[in-house]
Structure 1
Amino acid sequence: MLKWHPALTLSVLLFAIFLLAIPGNLLVGWVICTSTQALTPSDVYLFHLTIADGLMALTLPFFAISQVLGWIFGDFMCKLLTLIMEANFYTSIIFLACISVDRYRVIVHASENRRARHRRCSRVLCVAVWAVGWALALPALFSDVTQLDSDSSFLICTETFDIGSSTMWRLATRGFRHIFGFLVPLVVMVACYSITITRLLHTRGFQKHRAMRVITAVVIAFLLCWTPYHITMVVDTLLRAELLTFDCTFRRAVNNALRTTNSLALLHSCINPFLYAFVGEKFRKKLKTLLQRKRRREQSSVFRVSRSTSQTSEGARTVL
């Protein structure tokens, strides 16, 4: 019988995130794609955000299995899945920043809104975000399958820099992750949303309170999910660079904290649909309209079938 231990707990958590993230992001993507209205830049960014979060979630079952059984999928899948995870990690967070910029533009500079031009720019920006995200993720190609330690046959998929100084490579790649995957998007979000909330405070009506609640929830969720992971990674980097003194117990605690905070960060991929879509009144109206339209089509189809059956029965009675 499999003994219950922290690795199994993390495995179950990753599977749970996968099961929550896939339906949520698919539903948001479906609502946006089937919308009969012209998409706003925020809609476009949200659609691409669902793609990034969905692709990231698709890799989770592999990493969930590896928590318990070790990495059993080979070197190629190690590089590929790590690359997909890293690329969509960057694109997801950058699209969050893009949404904050667009909401700032719409609310603070509403009179300067040139919709057609902004729609074209949003599509070009999406291409740029994907290109930047995949470019920043290229160090994931250095990932390889290796033993957890010399005394264990347990295999893990991890970064192994075998050219030049591994310490310098690790400092550089993690520096990029902290700067472009957390600090820059966070500064953009806080700056844009702070100005947006200031403008909303000078407006009247119930809608401003709803918008402020959503904005506050977005920033808090981002900080709660990602801050522990980045703090833990900074500590891990300092340990690997031997800038901090440590013993085996502390090293083991940091490794466990990395796995736990990474799972917490991935939880953000299933929170995003709820924060950006389900909480939004416009999205709920679109979803309600689509469901009503689908229900009417089903009722119409049932009515046509029953009517056809009735006419057939009536014709049979006439013949008899």
Structure 2
Amino acid sequence: IPTNQSQNVPAPSFTVAARCRVAATLVLFVFAACSNLSVLISVCWGRGYRLAAHLRPLIASLASADLVMTFVVMPLDAIWNITVQWYAGDMMCKLLCFLKLFAMHSAAFILVVVSLDRYRAILHPLDSLDAGLRNRRMLLVAWTLSLLLASPQLFIFRAIKADGVDFTQCVTHGSFRYLWQETAYNMFHFVTLYVFPLLVMTFCYTCILTKINRQMHKSKDGEHCLRRNGTDKIPKARIKTLKMTIVIVSSFVICWTPYYLLGIWYWFQPAMIQHTPEYVHHILFIFGNLNTCCDPVIYSFYTASFRADLTDVLACCRGRRINNASPRSVDRLSGGSARAPVEMESDLSSNQHSGNPA
């Protein structure tokens, strides 16, 4: 969250560390855009549509939130570092700062919804009949809260030209009468962006793991308790989805915790920015944005349907290259391509029997 620029700090410039930050941001942007778009397309129109009906909106919303982060936060950060000062005017200053905070809130709140869905699915499996409607309502609340909590950005940010120099910046200068007010505003968003989601997710997964541990101890013959059959047992497909969501939540915590801790330190001790190496700020922000790239990778690792869609795309691209190749090269590759349909069919049949996340 950009902070007040009223402290006496040197004028910003496009340093070597900032150039490295821009280069890394562009790499993350390309990967996050391609991977999250692939997840969204797979869930909406590909094999991912075979997922349980109550899971599809969750995965699609998570990919959408990551795409908002990708197409708003990353380009804004890269361009702002390149231009150093603000050239887009007052209206774009307000709008883009609003969209930035909206993207960060939506990404955090969607993870909260996913955690609550897993909590209900494991601890209250009989309520799964209305899981689709419940998830849609929670998603609506998550997106609406993101809009409401980000709306103050439209009023406190503005493009201000510095006195005596030709330098304009998008800042909150003049929006708060006292420093403690701005600190309170930043702390409020720290709670809604990080502390509240972390507490909810910790509660949900602590309860889930406690129940799983209790069920494993109930096993009389020492075998693993998590089977499809039997009473009071958790289906394997549900456990598979639980593992995926735990890893996704863990990546969120690991990627963003250093960035927020640095922010807290700065809010209470603004002078520390003069004693902290510049590259530290850049590295922590890049590390936080890495979370948008982790989600689709984790999803592909746990979801066979998404991997099958990627295999189809690669096979299609490879088939086009073969069609455009010379007849001699086609003959040379014919031995391997003849086996492709059989292998594809066996992969699909194995995916159908492996059990999609539920």
- Give the TM-score of the pair, scaled to structure 1: 0.76
For 1:227, the equivalent position in structure 2 comes to 257
2:114–2:245 Cα contact (<8 Å) kept: no
The Cα shift of 1:13 comes to 1.7
From the superposition, tell whether residues 210 and 8 of structure 1 become closer, same or farther in structure 2 (CA, over 3 Å). same
Secondary structure of residue in 1 paired with 2:171:
strand
Question: Whole-Å Cα distance in 2 between the matches of residues 38 and 264 of structure 1?
Answer: 31
For 1:260, the equivalent position in structure 2 comes to 283
1:10–1:260 Cα contact (<8 Å) kept: yes
RMSD: 3.5
From the superposition, tell whether residues 14 and 224 of structure 1 become closer, same or farther in structure 2 (CA, over 3 Å). same
Gaps of 5+ in 1: 241-245, 300-320
Gaps of 5+ in 2: 1-12, 217-224, 228-235, 320-358
Question: Whole-Å Cα distance in 2 between the matches of residues 257 and 152 of structure 1?
Answer: 29
The Cα shift of 1:30 comes to 0.6
Q: Give the % identical residues.
A: 21
Verify: 1:272 aligned to 2:295, yes or no: yes
Question: Whole-Å Cα distance in 2 between the matches of residues 69 and 293 of structure 1?
Answer: 38
One-letter code aligned to 1:268 = N
From the superposition, tell whether residues 289 and 67 of structure 1 become closer, same or farther in structure 2 (CA, over 3 Å). closer
Question: Whole-Å Cα distance in 2 between the matches of residues 225 and 290 of structure 1?
Answer: 26
**Greater helix fraction, Structure 1 or Structure 2:** 1
Question: Whole-Å Cα distance in 2 between the matches of residues 294 and 79 of structure 1?
Answer: 42
> Which one of the candidate residues 208, 216, 227 is aligned to 1:196?
208
For 1:288, the equivalent position in structure 2 comes to 308
Bigger CA drift: 63-72 or 88-97?
63-72
From the superposition, tell whether residues 153 and 67 of structure 1 become closer, same or farther in structure 2 (CA, over 3 Å). farther
The Cα shift of 1:6 comes to 0.5
For 2:83, the equivalent position in structure 1 comes to 69
Question: Whole-Å Cα distance in 1 between the matches of residues 131 and 138 of structure 2?
Answer: 10
Q: Summarize deviations over 1:148-169 as a string: whole Å, max 9, x none.
A: x879756543333x24525244
Q: How does 1:92-241 map to 2 (within 5 A)?
A: 92-114=107-129, 117-141=130-154, 142-146=156-160, 155-160=168-173, 162-201=174-213, 202=216, 203-204=225-226, 214-240=244-270
- Give the TM-score of the pair, scaled to structure 2: 0.68
Question: Whole-Å Cα distance in 1 between the matches of residues 194 and 143 of structure 2?
Answer: 17
1:200–1:212 Cα contact (<8 Å) kept: no
One-letter code aligned to 1:269 = T
For 2:331, the equivalent position in structure 1 comes to none
From the superposition, tell whether residues 82 and 64 of structure 1 become closer, same or farther in structure 2 (CA, over 3 Å). same
1:236–1:254 Cα contact (<8 Å) kept: no
Secondary structure of residue in 2 paired with 1:145:
strand
